[in-house]
Amino acid sequence: MLQQLFEHRRERCHGLEVFNSEAFFWSFPHFLINNFLKMAENGNGNVATENGLAKIQTQKALNGICHDDSGPTVKAKTIDELHSLQTKKSAPSTPNTGISSPFASLSEQERQQLQLQSISASLASLTRETGPKVVKGDPAKSQSQKVEHVHHVHVAPTIAVSDSALKFTHVLYNLSPAELYEQAIKYEKGSFVTSNGALATLSGAKTGRSPRDKRVVKDDVTESELWWGKGSPNIEMDEETFLVNRERAVDYLNSLDKVFVNDQFLNWDPENRIKVRIVSARAYHSLFMHNMCIRPSPEELENFGTPDFTIYNAGKFPCNRFTHYMTSSTSIDLNLARREMVILGTQYAGEMKKGLFSVMHYLMPKRQILSLHSGCNMGKDGDVALFFGLSGTGKTTLSTDHNRYLIGDDEHCWSENGVSNIEGGCYAKCIDLSREKEPDIWNAIRFGTVLENVVFDEHTREVDYSDKSVTENTRAAYPIEYIPNAKLPCVGPHPKNVILLACDAFGVLPPVSKLNLAQTMYHFISGYTALVAGTEDGIKEPQATFSACFGAAFIMLHPTKYAAMLAEKMESHGATGWLVNTGWSGGSYGTGNRIKLSYTRKIIDAIHNGSLLKAEYKKSKIFGLETPTAVEGVPSEILDPVNAWTDKHAYNETLLKLAGLFRKNFETFTNYTIGKGGDNLTEEILAAGPIF
């Protein structure tokens, strides 16, 4: 029987020896052998042998080859060829708008050459007057691939040629998130894919911004335009020192085998957008800025041209501490005349985001556009609200409303066209993040998101958002379209309401107050909130915090200039100002209670729907705030803070204490003139403050 089976197989395969021995056959599992032995004539023409085993009829194979079910072989002759078949070139997905551009008549190769010429010019050394030889692509792949586009800016050098001028600098240009993941995981220690698909990275020794190491070039123009001196975030440096640091950063970047280059936009308003170029040494930084800036379409990228502003991020490479104006190995330098920013000695990605925000605080007011550190949302009827607030005031929570569209969570412009988001993404705090408290942020953390300095399980890669082992300042950077109710494009009409949020831990400010223009300017300039200080001798005491324009670290001009622009726009477009306290009621921190979030949401809803404008108001003492006597869904006894305090004497003392802190803080701004009639405006703002 077995011999007949062998003969049958030989016949089927036209003489090819498939089975060489009976021992090979009996090596098959018993259940297969039993199946063969049980085969018999099946009534379809198969002939059974005398032992009952059916002779299986099959079709003749072509060319004498035994039949199999495999597909055709691949066309590649080498493994590298096979890998090259796996990917294809991206094609522009944005339809041509028909708008002419200086690049419209150029071939693809000419566009590539101009693009590389622009990048080489950006990386040009000022002393050697020459840019590096730049070529697109990963150096790890270039050994087996033909180099098609190379450019070198060449001017007769003033000094001898350097080693870096003899090499190619590979440019990884506007890579996709997937490509940046590959680069980060392969080359950057501390980069991992978490269980939710995000890229977890480490920012090195610095886990936050370094405001004391930020410098701005003081020249003939900026000396008179910018805010210098007491209270100002602008620390001066001279042009020569900036160029020393720029040369150091550029030399470092040119010494690398590869650099990452992002060409992107700021400001969703197409009439006022800014072209930015970011040159960095890490895939983490490139992906972060890919998420945070506005991502150009393929067509916009082809026609990008020369950037309006350039960042040179040398990351961990330090500045020379013996250089004038340097106080540490970290330096973040802005040169507004050259439209350049240099970063040395820090890998914290937030320096790039906030550095560009400072630039917008300088450039936009020159166009009569107000730059704002605020959240912004829009109702279904087109009513827009701005939310200002420092950390812990609830700005993110209250501006993210499922019943309204999110225009942006942090940086905006207010122009004659309305409001527009400056950014293309969100940069959310992750500490103690939960699905229940912040579902939108939770769900936005997925493939493409950058997770900074978080801790995760080494096996499952599940993130523990409560773990502060690396830092408390854990962050997630993701594109704004990851938020379900984001409005795209991120623009809206003129705001109807301007909401200033304060978490008053002293417990003396009303839950909500309607502000006139002078009061809005006063509280906008003050930028007040109160944080709870640490425990000392068992006593907890609130600590007042003031940040001009609710973002003093990023403004470039004097706060009163931004305040005057805000008042002018509010008056022109009929916006109403509100002061909302999300802090304590019935006593200071430790004795009173935090105002319930549900009450604050009812107040915000009443602002949005316009019902709060129709309420009856009474004026409070000291601060002179107009407080409503009733808000639907909010207990009337907490609307006037004094009613919620059992100890009236303690309330009065605390109220006077806070008023004194406001007055002391405002002394910084009293001797500054705002344009024509500035003295009168300053007096008007001062009169809107506390009186006692």
List, by residue number, the catalytic residues: 209, 354, 373, 391, 395-396, 410, 475
**Tokens 């420092």 appear where?**
390
- The residue type at 646: T
> Token digits for 443?
């769900």
Distance CA 46, CA 62 (A): 22
Burial of 543 (0-12, 13-18, 19+ CB in 10 A): middle
Instruction: Kindly state the helix (H) or strand (E) to which residue 371 belongs, with its residue range.
Output: strand 370-373
The two tokens of residue 131 are 């840019």
Q: Is 269 helix (H, G, I), strand (E, B) or coil?
A: coil
Question: How far apart, in whole angstroms, are the C-alpha atoms of residue 215 and residue 268?
Answer: 28
Instruction: Write the DSSP assignment of 114-171 as a string of letters.
Output: HHHHHHHHHT-BTTTTBPPEEEES-HHHHTTS----EEE-----SSPPPGGGGSEEEE
Query: Residue 603: how many CA atoms within 13 Å on its side-chain side?
Result: 29
DSSP-derived secondary structure letter, 492: E
DSSP string, 165-196: GGSEEEEEES--HHHHHHHHHHHSTT-EE-TT
Q: Which of 266, 338, 254 is nearest to 296 (CA)?
A: 266
Cα separation, 270 vs 253, in Å, equals 32
- Give residues with Cβ within 8 angstroms of 597, minimum separation 6: 394, 397, 582
| 543: β partners | 531
